[in-house]
Amino acid sequence: MARFLVGRVLQGVFVLWAAYTLSFAVLYALPSDPAAIAAGANNSVTPEQLAELRHEMGLDRPLAGQYLAKLGGALHGDLGTSLQSGEPVTSLIGAALPPTLAVAGLGLVLGALLGTGLAVLATVTPYRWLRQALLGLPPLGVAIPSFVVGLLLLQWFAFAWNVLPAIGEGGWRGLVLPAATIAVQPAALIGQVLARSMEGELGKDYVDVARAKGAGPFRVNVRHVLRNAALPTLTLAGLLVGGLLTGAIVVEAVFSRNGLGRITQGAVAAEDLPVVQGVVLLGAAVFVTVNLAVDLLYQVLDPRLAIERRTAGTARFTLFGLAGRG
Amino acid sequence: MSVTDLARPAGERRPGPGTARRPGLPRAVLRSLAVLLRHPGAALSALWIVLVVAAAVAPSLFAPGDPLAIDPAARLQGPSLDHLFGTDRLGRDLFGETVHGTGRTLPAAALATVVGLGAGTLLGLLAGFLRAATDLVIMRLIDVLLSIPGLLLALMLVAVLGEGDTLDVGIAIGVAAVASTARVMRAEVLRVSESGFVEAARTGGARWTRVVLRHVLPNSLGPVWVLTLLLFGEAILGVTTLSFLGFGAQPPTPEWGALVSSGRDFLGSAWWLSLLPGAVVALTVLAANRVSHAVEERTGRR
């Protein structure tokens, strides 16, 4: 287990380093002038001042030197400073995180509940039409852009029925609509995958055994089938969390909320490259962490994997070992 | 008769049981047409896509006249027979704007699909065929691309490419789709490379370029073609989302996402301004997914 853990952590660190390098290559190696952006709308900047600013920001050094200096800083938790405000990127992102976490977290919980409910109901219902209708919902949820979902909810709940506030600031009531908007994508994904997975599990022998021993439909479907069927949906976790982050960008724009999405949108519009890179790194870090956690969780939840690993040897789990397999 | 002649790619002579269910492109098109007739939902979706594409090519067919023509007498009117989608705050016909916006959104989404499919296919082909170090490097690159959420990756590229043009946005969205295509393609190339006809071609002394272009590539493209419409739908979502956020087409240029965005200030009083173009986006994506699903079901199973 320790060896497996170390291998996976190293792999995660490698992906993070590569994400840093990739974002550096895209953002800094391409012809754009961060110094000019930092100088901003201030047209009175003379070429000499601009050159001095470039020197201050280290932009006149060779790219490799800049890369190493920035990477060294990043390893110490310094992602540079925003070109717009001059604030350190880490504190900028740190301050924006709580409101986004609240919306995204609530959205994920809501999405998981809705998706699970949909899959279970579609599986246990004796009515064919209800099953068809329920299973028709996820494709719809995936196809509707989330900004349209947000505007629809706004139109109904805030303007037509006037039950919830239109602006997402202040109190839990403002949190409901943004969270519901974010929840649609995860709910659709979870519902789709879980329903298919449950259908597959229903044909297995242990279901017959449970029924033969007198278990009722609830016990069979929830205690036995759902628990086994939930395992494959865990692999969705990385995808879902990545989707939450991008969902937050859209939702914060629709509901005029402050947070990470707002910062990202503003940074992209102003070409504030350090901030953009910081958010990209955060996205990659979250993805890597979640996938690592899911891998570990899998080992605990599915004991068959641990046995397989012990018998299969450790060669597969080296840092680059995964590349050769089909 | 040389050995390479024996190993014709799919379409002319079926090389093996593994590839028999993946027909060449023309046959796949014919087959999908037959499928559509049997599934009314998918047929309606296909019809919608044809209409939308027609609107992108020749918008004047559906909405003659200048979409940006201002009519101060008819401001903020609801949907009616005169103005199917209502009018905006300057009295412009929203239906006309939406129809003309198709010519912005669809080319960008198509560009994204071409970039995603093209680069992904190339990377997957290289990784799967050359293996060894090339495979290692490409697969690590794909791991990294997958670790960054798609929209964020696209936003990063938009920050560099600039935000003025829908086509830049299309390229950005396309790059975000490269990783998944490359993975599908690589797996398929690995599978096909194991086939007897590839080995026969090699043994027969065919050069590697011939092996790749005549044997491996045509037989590996099946699953990628199936992805096309799915990617196209996703690209529409991506392009409209970015332009909703203010990147890409700038008002007053009509574009679906930009129309939704400029209508949202009137949500309480004139809901049609943002929700009707939004519904068009959703319908188009839904239709693309539906058709793609029907084709996949037909070619994938059995």
ipTM of the complex: 0.83
The answer to whether residue A284 neighbours chain B at the CB level (below 8 Å) is: yes
* pLDDT value for A30: 65
Mutation choice for A interface testing from B52, B134, B152 by most A CBs within 10 A: B152
* Domains contained in chain B, CATH given: 23-65+86-300 (1.10.3720.10)
**Residues A261-285: what's their mean pLDDT?**
90
Nearest CA in chain A to B187: A326
Task: Compute and round to an integer the Cα radius of gyration of chain B.
Answer: 23
Distance from CA of A286 to the nearest CA of B (A): 9
- How far is B178 from B148, CA to CA, in rounded Å? 12
Look over chain B and give the mean of its residue pLDDT values, rounded to a whole number.
Answer: 81
| pLDDT tens sequence across B124-160 | 999 888 878 888 899 889 989 988 988 999 998 888 8
For the domain A93-317, what is the CATH code? 1.10.3720.10
Chain B residue numbers touching A324 (CB-CB < 8 A): 131, 135
Q: Which of B152, B156, B237 sits opposite A26 (nearest CB)?
A: B156
Residue whose pair of structure tokens reads 């839990």 in the numeric block: A172
Determine, for residues A268 and B144 on separate chains, whether the beta-carbon distance falls below 8 Å. no
* pLDDT value for B5: 39
Mutation choice for B interface testing from A21, A83, A144 by most B CBs within 10 A: A144
Angle between helices B150-161 and A237-254 (to 10 degrees): 50
Q: Assess whether pLDDT exceeds 80 at residue A37.
A: no
- Asked if residue B286 lies in contact with residue B48, where contact means CB atoms within 8 angstroms, the answer is no
* pLDDT value for B236: 93
The answer to whether residue A167 neighbours chain B at the CB level (below 8 Å) is: no
- CATH code 1.10.3720.10 region(s) in chain A: 93-317
- Asked if residue A217 lies in contact with residue A124, where contact means CB atoms within 8 angstroms, the answer is yes
- How far is B74 from A202, CA to CA, in rounded Å? 59
* Lowest pLDDT segment from A113-122, A158-167, A309-318, B203-212: A309-318
Neighbours of A278 (CB within 10 A): 25
* pLDDT value for B258: 86
| pLDDT tens sequence across A142-155 | 889 999 999 998 88
Query: If pLDDT is split at 50, 70 and 90, which confidence band does A47 have?
Result: confident
Query: If pLDDT is split at 50, 70 and 90, which confidence band does B15 have?
Result: very low
Query: If pLDDT is split at 50, 70 and 90, which confidence band does A234 have?
Result: confident
Determine, for residues A323 and B140 on separate chains, whether the beta-carbon distance falls below 8 Å. yes
**Strand, helix or coil at A252?**
helix
Spatial CA neighbour of A96 closest among A282, A290, A285: A282
Query: If pLDDT is split at 50, 70 and 90, which confidence band does A104 have?
Result: very high
Determine, for residues B275 and A23 on separate chains, whether the beta-carbon distance falls below 8 Å. no
- How far is B215 from B17, CA to CA, in rounded Å? 15
Q: Nearest 5°: phi and psi at B87?
A: -125, 155
Q: Assess whether pLDDT exceeds 80 at residue B243.
A: yes
A87: amino acid identity, one letter: E
**Is the pTM for the entire model greater than 0.90?**
no
Most confident option among A142-146, A322-326, B35-39: A142-146
Residues whose CB is less than 8 angstroms from the CB of residue A208 and which lie 6 or more positions away in sequence, other chains included: none
- How far is B179 from B182, CA to CA, in rounded Å? 5
* pLDDT value for B117: 92
Q: Assess whether pLDDT exceeds 80 at residue B251.
A: no
Residues whose CB is less than 8 angstroms from the CB of residue A84 and which lie 6 or more positions away in sequence, other chains included: A40, A266, A267, A270, A272, A275
* pLDDT value for A76: 79
Q: Assess whether pLDDT exceeds 70 at residue B8.
A: no
Percent of chain A at pLDDT above 70? 86
Query: If pLDDT is split at 50, 70 and 90, which confidence band does B7 have?
Result: very low
> Backbone dihedral region of B250: left (phi > 0), alpha (psi from -120 to 50 degrees) or beta?
beta
Determine, for residues B278 and A148 on separate chains, whether the beta-carbon distance falls below 8 Å. yes
